[in-house]
Amino acid sequence: MSTSQALISRLGTIMQMAYVPEDMDGALRYWTETMGVGPFFKIANIQVDAARYKGEPASIDFSVYIAYWGDMQIELIEQYNVPPQSTKAGAARAGKACTTSASWWRTWPAPVPCAPKPAPR
């Protein structure tokens, strides 16, 4: 096993893949008809107004389509506004659809406390 494979395997099992397709209807058709994934559930018009990019305010408006392929979550992202920092602009610069993220399940050896416990009274 190579060093990079060993490092990646330490992350755990991949549980989610997210894509920004150029053609959402085509992507939904591909994932449902060719790959057998679905049904997809749409969360429409998620707006993030308090985002910042390189210190400047950035407004984001997008929808996500989520389905499961066994234990793998497939997320398709449809972004409506195209500020330069957006995933859609990044996909356009890359030439086609792009993978935006992959998520892993990780089992930690012990719980990590978020804050110290208060002293008993």
Instruction: Report pLDDT digits (tens) over 109-120.
Output: 555 455 555 556
Q: Torsion over CA of 24, 77, 73 and 67, rounded to 10 degrees?
A: -50
pLDDT at 84 over 60: no
User: What's the pLDDT at 47?
Assistant: 86
CATH of 13-105, one of 2.60.40.2470, 3.10.180.10, 3.60.20.10, 3.30.930.10: 3.10.180.10
Q: Please state the rounded mean pLDDT for residues 67-92.
A: 75
Domain map (residue ranges) of the chain: 13-105
**DSSP 8-state code for residue 97:** -
User: What's the pLDDT at 102?
Assistant: 54
pLDDT at 53 over 90: no
Residues above pLDDT 70, as percent of the chain: 64
